[in-house]
Structure formats: structure tokens, C-alpha cells
Amino acid sequence: MLAGRVLSNMTDSAAVDIERAKALSEQAVAASPRSQLAHIAKGQVLRAQRRYTEATTEYETVLALDRNWVFAYFALGQCKLFTGSIEETIPLVEKAIRLSPHDSQLGVWSYQIGLAHLLQSHTEEAIMWLEKARNHTPAHSIIRADLAAAYGFAGETERAGAELAEARRLSPVDRYSSIARSRTIGNYAVLTPQIRALFEATYLVGLRKAGMPEE
């Protein structure tokens, strides 16, 4: 729960919450090494710390213990994207959607698939999935920004600008005021060189076309 609050940007005490969650999750794994819940908790802590390679191991452990643990597919897919195995992301998240097609997290899952398509320059697929994500979860600033980038990359600058304006309005940390600001917040600093290059060539190009200034 504590790590989830950090991942969802729902806390003003992220560092304290993560340290507490880390201690609790390590205790849980030590006490019950075959507990799916304990490994999910540890994975959430590591993902909140952006330690995606280590988090991957925890989510894979969960799925080895229970192939139907839906959330683990999404979380593992995100870790695969950020650590450079982007080709594994979409099948994992699609599996989550097949297992739970009416899940409350469907917007976030659809966004993850859309981002993976965008980074691979699959523009039509990216827009389709990101529109699904926006329609399901319209108040999510990251979804709106990613859709702005996809529209911009496709040359639909008017629609891109409208989505970027919404992303700015919804973002609690002024994340989308400039390209430079976007690079300093979120996962950019911990991306592998390969994935960072894909962000530069697609996502940031799209945001520039949407009207985002450099500084």
C-alpha cells in the first residue's frame, strides 16, 4: 500500500513511505518466501525506487507461483520496457487485459501498450491504445502527455496541443512545461541508453510538435 501510494503520486512523504514499505516487504519475504503477496510488495518497492531489473525478479517470482496474478503481468511489462526488453512489454500487458478485461487499471495498462508502440514508431497503434487509455482514465496527466506525443509524432499538431494542455493542467508537479523539465522528472534518468534513444526519437519529437518548448 505504501509503495503503491508513491507509484501513484498520492503521498507527500515518498521517502518515508518507501523506507517503511521496504522494511515491511523484506520482513514479509523472509517470513514467507513462497508468498505471492510478499513478492508483489517487494516488487512494488523496487519499482517505486526505479530499480527495475531487481523488480523484474520479484514479479517473475510471483508469476512462477501464480500464473493468474494479473497485476504482475502489467508491472513486469513496465519493468521490461524500462530495462530495454521493450519487445516483451506488449504481450505481458495484453495478458493482463485478457485476464481482467474490465479491470479498474485498464486505462494505465492501455497506456503502457500505447507507449511501447510509440517508442517503436508504430504510430497508428500507439494512438489507438492511448485514446483507449484516455477514454478510460481521462484525468491521468501522463496518459494525456503520451497521447499528445503520439498525435504530435503523427503530425496531428492541433490535437497534440489540446492533449498537452490537458496534461499540463492535470500534472501536480509541472512535469510538462518544457522538454528539459520532462527529462528531469520520472524515469528518464534510469532508462537504458537504447530506450532513452527511442524516447528522444519518438516521444520527445512528438512533444515538440505538440508545442512543448525546450526550456
What is the tens place of the pLDDT at every residue in 77-86?
999 999 999 9
- Counting every residue, how long is the chain? 215
Q: Which grid cell sits at 168?
A: 499540463
Residue 192's alpha-carbon distances to 38, 145, 213, in angstroms, are 28, 21, 25
Residue 2's alpha-carbon distances to 68, 125, 172, in angstroms, are 24, 34, 19
- The residue ranking higher by pLDDT, 194 or 13, is 194
Question: Does residue 98 belong to any structural domain of this protein?
Answer: no
Give the domain range for residue 128.
Answer: 104-215
- The pLDDT of 171-180, averaged and rounded, is 93
Confidence of residue 30 (pLDDT cuts 50, 70, 90): confident
Q: What is the DSSP letter of 199?
A: I
Domain with residue 192: its CATH number is: 1.25.40.10
The reported pLDDT for the residue numbered 2 is 45
Please tell me the total count of domains within the chain.
1
Please give the mean pLDDT across all residues of the chain. Answer: 91
The answer for residues whose C-beta is within 8 angstroms of residue 19's C-beta and 6 or more apart is none
Q: What is the pLDDT of residues 51-107, one digit of tens each?
A: 999 999 999 999 999 999 999 999 999 999 999 999 999 999 999 999 999 999 999
Query: In the predicted model, is pLDDT for residue 10 greater than 50?
Result: no
Question: Does residue 210 belong to any structural domain of this protein?
Answer: yes
- The pLDDT of 5-11, averaged and rounded, is 46
Are the C-beta atoms of residues 205 and 152 closer than 8 Å to each other? yes
Question: Does residue 59 belong to any structural domain of this protein?
Answer: no
Are the C-beta atoms of residues 55 and 39 closer than 8 Å to each other? no
| Count of Cβ atoms closer than 10 Å to residue 109 Cβ | 26
Q: How far apart are CA 59 and CA 136, in angstroms?
A: 25
- What is the pTM assigned to this prediction? 0.90
Confidence of residue 6 (pLDDT cuts 50, 70, 90): very low
